[in-house]
């Protein structure tokens, strides 16, 4: 029931994301933008498809053999990423219950448009440090490395990564993107220590460069 309730938030508008530095559950965004969203790996693909309202995504939810799921919110342009591609990502990380963990935009409790940070906004993105890695090199967590393949420059994708395909302990040796601050790292460590095979992390990513 929890996963299905969170599923109702999954397919919001393509660009909306709302990092919260507090420990409150992610609130919905007001009129004109929908809340950032989640879906559990255990949720059937048919349920995901049924909940995808017209115009809220540019593609259908994809499920990979590994259990990773993703949906394209903006397609982007140019060549798609593949093994050996060098990718630059802006990213937001959330836990499966909707709690904000961290992002390449930092621990921002508010921002432009009443706290909504928009992917693709250069006035925001250029002020923060993106995650840069080579696809297939082991630099990114396995589930994210798998899910970004095919992304094009400017594309936005929501990715559901099962915990076993996310971070590894100790975090200082884990593939990225690993947050810098203690509080975010502690959240990730607690999630991994649960050893729940159905637990997952949600990434919202924008490919700001693919080469």
Two structure tokens written together for 164: 């076993």
The more confident residue out of 9 and 170 is 170
Number of domains, the chain:
1
Inter-residue contact 126 to 209 (CB < 8 Å): no
19-33, 39-53, 134-148: least confidently modelled range: 19-33
Q: Is the model's pTM score more than 0.85?
A: no
Q: What is the domain extent for residue 12?
A: 2-210
Q: Which residue has the higher pLDDT, 83 or 129?
A: 83
What CATH number does residue 76 fall under? 3.10.50.40
Cβ atoms of residues 180 and 187 within 8 Å = no
- The percentage of the chain sitting over the pLDDT mark of 90, rounded to a whole number, equals 50
What are 200's strand-pairing partners?
162
Q: What pLDDT was estimated at residue 177? A: 95
What pLDDT is recorded for position 154? 93
pLDDT at 110: 39
- Parallel/antiparallel/unpaired status of strands 100-103 and 86-95: antiparallel
73 pLDDT higher than 50: yes
* Cα dihedral: 183, 178, 88, 34 (round 10): -50
For residue 158, the 8-state DSSP code is E
Q: How far is CA 173 from the centre of its chain?
A: 21
In the block, which residue shows the tokens 């693919």? Answer: 210
Longest dimension (CA), the chain: 42
């Amino acid at each position: 029931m929890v996963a299905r309730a969170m599923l109702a938030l999954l397919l919001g508008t393509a660009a909306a994301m709302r990092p919260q530095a507090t420990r409150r559950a992610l609130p919905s965004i007001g009129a004109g933008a929908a809340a950032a969203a989640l879906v559990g790996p255990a949720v059937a693909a048919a349920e995901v498809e049924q909940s995808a309202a017209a115009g809220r995504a540019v593609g259908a939810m994809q499920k990979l053999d590994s259990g990773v799921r993703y949906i394209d919110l903006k397609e982007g342009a140019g060549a798609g990423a593949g093994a050996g591609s060098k990718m630059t990502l802006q990213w937001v990380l959330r836990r499966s219950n909707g709690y904000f963990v961290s992002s390449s935009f930092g621990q921002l409790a508010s921002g432009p448009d009443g706290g909504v940070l928009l992917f693709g906004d250069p006035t925001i993105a250029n002020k923060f440090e993106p995650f840069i890695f080579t696809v297939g090199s082991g630099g990114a967590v396995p589930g994210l490395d798998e899910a970004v393949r095919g992304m094009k420059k400017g594309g936005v994708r929501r990715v559901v990564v099962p915990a076993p395909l996310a971070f590894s302990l100790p975090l200082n040796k884990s593939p990225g993107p690993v947050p810098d601050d203690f509080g975010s790292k502690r959240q990730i460590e607690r999630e991994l220590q649960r050893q729940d095979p159905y637990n997952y992390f949600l990434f919202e990513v924008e490919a700001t460069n693919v080469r």
